[in-house]
Amino acid sequence: MSTLIVVNNPAKWPLNIPDVEIVAAKTYLTDGRYSDLEGVKVFNLCRHYSYQSMGYYVSLLAEARGHRPMPDINTIMNLRSLSMPRADAQDIDEEIQRVLKPLKGDEFTLSIYFGRNMAARYKRLALLLFNLFPAPFLRANFVRENEWWSLTNIGTIPYSEVPDTHKPFAQECAVEYLSRKRRPGAKRKHAKYDMAVLFNPEEAHSPSNERAIKRFSDAAWDLGINTEVIDKSDYGRLAEFDALFIRETTAVNHYTYRFSRRAANLGLVVMDDPLSILRCTNKVYLAELLEHAGISAPRTVIAHKDNLDDVIVHLGLPCVLKRPDGAFSQGVMKAADVDDLRNAIEGMLEDSDLVLAQEWMPTEYDWRIGVLDGKPLYACRYHMAKKHWQIAKHEGENSRFGKVDTLAIEDAPPRVVEAAVKSSRLIGNGLYGVDLKEVDGKPYVIEVNDNPNLDAGYEDALLKDKLWQTIAQVFLQRIEARRSGAKL
């Protein structure tokens, strides 16, 4: 993906960045050579972005051409209204109070150059604002009233308005941001597309290990897709990419969901897509979905504070209790007697108005069928942890897992694979891991996971490179389909 800096007057722009072309706004808008370019990042540094101004049209036409502008039209409009999601607004408010509290005056201006400020103490605040309003140069104004600091305005500024004392730093930030690192390998073909991989190697129960990320990245590169591992601080950079692959544990009330939504709104190919996250991360929804589709699942009662007796009547004891948004066997409890049941449900109801109760269905192992694009991808048997009834036993910060057997899809029971594919298609056409139990030859769907484990040495033990190539190929097909205007 090539990079353009669009400015009003290139002669006044002092930077010389390798592989970055500086072009006049009028030229970008009217020269057919730029209109025909594909896969271009456009950094719009025009003086103004007001409605129907030159800067406004640069971002507007960039989007129409399938280019990736910064700022995009959505950002330009959000800057006018100070529009931001509630969760982000809370994070920013907390940071504003923390870093501005020591100030003596009641007014403060923060300059932000590609997400950075000259003072280290404002580093996080500058990045938070840049991630919400991704534009090269920003100026934010704050006012204190009754000991409370408020963000009163944030807007873009042209390079000409950057103070002379700031210009060396602003130029340094621009060079650092625009001089992107590429994958090594002189003999390998130049990547046509860029993909972000959201991954946190420090996550306790990450859905992929680092070797898996490398193997996927190699497979993607061979297909002409450059991958870059990003983290939660890179929210403002999503517009630079053609696709997003989320390899962190997802949740609705979490930055992974915000990343997914923004990527989808920007037109990126994204796994997991936001609708899949919404559907899969709530077990109450899944239980209802499976029941209405006529797919076999453990008998289930939606429990709340007024129907504890129904759980015993319909399920008996022992039974399994689940938090609606639990992951990796966490938030799942076994109630052996009435006291266990009452204590567990009352504890879970502190965080959710509903709890999922399911019949006790012990098995030696659970099936996990990976499904991608509506087709079975891999099959695993996840055995229960030693002397435990789940595949994982969590003891404080330590966890023990049962062994994993990886099988060819054709060696897995056909009824298990069929049930997995059918249930995953109720969610969407993304990447899913369907957990099932098999009792007397009959499959029961436990849940559909939007963010399945893909660990090198486990899920790819049989398919090896082919697993990663298959996933990368689906990304490539969807990116190219989106570029051609085809409906996904």
Q: What is the pLDDT of residues 52-63, one digit of tens each?
A: 889 999 999 998
Residue 183 lies in a domain: no
Identify the residue whose tokens are 């404002």: 122
| Number of CB atoms found within 10 A of residue 278's CB | 18
Share of the chain above pLDDT 90, in %: 65
pTM for this model (two decimals): 0.81
Residues 6+ apart with CB under 8 A from 197: 213, 216, 217, 227, 228, 229, 230, 244, 245, 247
Three-class secondary structure of residue 398 per DSSP? strand
Residue 268 lies in a domain: yes
Q: Record the tokens describing residue 408, joined without a space.
A: 């060819």
- The answer as to whether 288 is a domain residue is no
Q: What is the mean pLDDT of the chain?
A: 90
Q: Whose CA is closest to 482, among 165, 309, 264, 299? A: 264
- The whole domain housing 265 covers 193-274+474-484
Q: What is the pLDDT of residues 301-354, one digit of tens each?
A: 988 878 888 899 999 999 999 888 766 556 788 999 999 898 888 888 888 888
188, part of any domain: no
Q: Looking at residues 368-375, what average pLDDT do you find? A: 98
User: Does residue 351 belong to any structural domain of this protein?
Assistant: yes
CA distance 407 to 461: 9
pLDDT for position 389: 87
Residue 469 pLDDT grade (very low, low, confident, very high; cuts 50, 70, 90): very high
Radius of gyration of the chain (CA): 26
Q: Is residue 258 part of a domain?
A: yes
- For the chain, the residue count is 488
Number of domains in the chain: 5
pLDDT in tens, 147-165: 999 999 999 988 888 999 9
β-partners of residue 58 are none
**Which of 310, 335, 360 is the endpoint of a domain?**
360
Which two tokens mark 72? Answer: 């995009």
The CATH number linked to 225 is: 3.40.50.20
Environment class of residue 64 by beta-carbon count within 10 Å: exposed (0-12), middle (13-18) or buried (19+)? Answer: exposed
Contacts of 299 (CB under 8 A, 6+ apart): 314, 315, 358, 359
Residues 98 and 51 in one domain: no
Q: What is the pLDDT of residue 85?
A: 63
CATH for 157:
3.30.470
Nearest-angstrom CA–CA distance, 434 and 77: 40
Question: Given strand 355-359, what is the order of strands in its sheet?
Answer: 300-303, 355-359, 319-322, 332-335
In whole angstroms, what is the distance from residue 373 CA to residue 429 CA? 5
pLDDT value at residue 185: 43
For the segment 76-106, what is each residue's pLDDT rounded down to a tens digit?
A: 888 877 766 666 777 899 999 999 999 999 9
- Answer with the residue of higher pLDDT: 384 or 189: 384
Tens digit of pLDDT for each residue in 239-280?
889 999 999 999 988 999 999 999 998 889 999 999 999 999
Residue 469 domain flag:
no
Digit-coded pLDDT (tens) for 178-223: 876 545 443 345 688 999 999 999 998 899 999 999 999 999 999 9
Out of 335, 360, 385, a domain closes at: 360
Q: Using DSSP, state whether 279 is helix, strand or coil.
A: helix
State which H helix or E strand residue 48 sits in.
none
| Confidence check: pLDDT of 50 > 60 | yes
How far apart (Å, rounded) are the C-alpha atoms in residues 99 and 253? Answer: 25
Tokens representing 169 are 């730093």
Task: Quote the CA–CA distance of 344 and 81 in Å, as a whole number.
Answer: 45
Domain boundary among 76, 106, 128: 76
What does residue 487 show for φ and ψ, rounded to 5 degrees? -80, 130
Let me know the angle formed at the C-alpha of 11 by 9 and 13, rounded to the nearest 5 degrees.
80
pLDDT digits over 120-153, tens only? Answer: 999 999 999 999 899 999 999 999 999 999 999 9
Higher model confidence: residue 282 or residue 169? 169
- In-domain check, residue 281: no
